[in-house]
Amino acid sequence: MPHDPSFTPTQLAARAAYLLRGNDLGTMTTAAPLLYPHMWSWDAAFVAIGLAPLSVERAVVELDTLLSAQWGNGMIPHIVFANGVDGYFPGPARWACSALSADAPRNRHTSGITQPPVHAIAVQRILDHARTRGRSTRAVAEAFLDRRWNDLVRWHRWLAECRDPDARGRVTMYHGWESGMDNSPRWDGAYANVIPGDVPEYQREDNKINTDATQRPSDLEYDRYLWLVEEMKAARYDDELLSKTVSFAVEDVFVSAILSVACQVLAEIGEDHKRPRSDVRDLYAWADRFRAGVIETTDERTGAAKDYDLRAEKWIVTETVAQFAPLLCGGLPHERERALLRLLEGPRFCGHPDLAYALIPSTSPVSRDFRPREYWRGPVWPVMTWLFSWCFARRGWAERSATLRREGLRQASDGTFAEYYEPFTGEPLGSMQQSWTAAAVLDWLG
């Protein structure tokens, strides 16, 4: 069993706040100082959630920086590069966004793909904290909403229209990186069909920082990742061309569930803050559409959701955390939802007898694809624990939410704020001093 907690809640909160300050570049927070020295899209949303209890004003700056790099078509890119910072590959030159796409921002270097749309949740957490503060802090949060409302709606509209052009209720991804779960077993089949052509020479940076090969994707996987970038560049990052030409195209059920929740949350914010009725109506409609799209994928017996490979024209069935997408957005018939909760809490996931903590591993320990140390193929990710805990609280499952929070804090009490943890031993893995792990802890303790 894992050792006793090293830090008290007060000490842990202080360390987490100290970490975020240390990773702060002024107007953006690096995802992690060594491995990820820039701003990542969904990391930034979680970072803002962690900053909000410390400083609503600083949390607002984080989201402002991210949204200032939004593309003309509405996409929020998955990386906003920090000026003058090297040490990450692929960097801005490899993406070549502003040279290829009229939609790419001219004043910021970004990547050419996107990431899960958790940002509305961050906006809600900021507004929640602002409500408990003085008038000037509330004014900062209100001004942010006035300034960025249209950008947030444009972001959701781009996902709904450009990434679900046939209104099937599922978001299409053209790269595993867009899912946030880069090397999940979910994508093995789709990646196997990506045949890399002539990939321009490259030097990986990630395995110089994290030298344990069991924790990182292989070189062949990297060739495929980079070949997809070349395909996107050939299409000049044009949404319509990508759908026709990129070798990898999957409907991501987990991102679709997040989008449903995010649209619902943003619609509620819009109602509370008297935003245009047409925006609110669109947001509610998208929330319904993507919820229905998620539910349509579920297994009749277990309620487990699945992704769809558009290129191979077949469903992707894996035992990963993504199966539980319907628990985030709701919509399952009662009996099927109970079956899915039993699966989550049973021996294939949180109830597995060998787990150090009763938390959701990224891949089921009984799956043949399970690798306890490798990125999204087994380890427990604190940010996933936070997301499920938050969604469960929102859905009225207070006890389930509290259990995840309690176990998540026990896991994080070693104070390393690791990117992810070995599920059986609790060993911290990946990059240490990870901003979004510290952010999750701060929100839980806030």
- Catalytically active residues, by annotation: 182, 419
Contact predicate 251/307, CB 8 Å:
yes
Residue whose pair of structure tokens reads 């919509």 in the numeric block: 331
The helix/strand/coil state of 141 is helix
Query: Which residue type, as a one-letter code, is found at position 36?
Result: Y
Residue whose pair of structure tokens reads 């781009």 in the numeric block: 158
For the chain, the helix, strand and coil percentages under 3-state DSSP, each to the nearest 5: 50, 5, 45
Q: What would the DSSP string read from start to end of 375-395?
A: TTSS-B-HHHHHHHHHHHHHT
Q: What would the DSSP string read from start to end of 196-208?
A: ---PPP---SHHH
Q: If residue 40 lies in a helix (H) or strand (E), which one and from where to where?
A: strand 39-40
- State the first-to-last Cα distance of the chain, in angstroms, to the nearest integer: 28
- In what order do the strands lie in the sheet containing 250-252? 171-173, 250-252, 307-309, 314-316
Measured CA to CA in angstroms, residue 64 lies from 45, 123, 138, 339 at distances of 11, 11, 16, 41
User: For 277, phi and psi rounded to 5 degrees?
Assistant: -60, -35
CA 226 to centroid of chain Cα atoms: 20
Contact predicate 257/326, CB 8 Å:
yes
Max CA separation in the chain (angstroms): 58
Burial 407-437 (b: 16+ CB within 10 A, else e): bbbbbbbbbbbbbbbbbbebbbbbbbbbbbb
Q: Within the chain, how many helices (H) and strands (E) appear?
A: 18, 8
Contact predicate 88/30, CB 8 Å:
no
Q: How far apart are CA 437 and CA 383, in angstroms?
A: 6
Helices (H), 301-433: 325-329, 334-345, 382-394, 398-412
Q: How far apart are CA 295 and CA 226, in angstroms?
A: 33
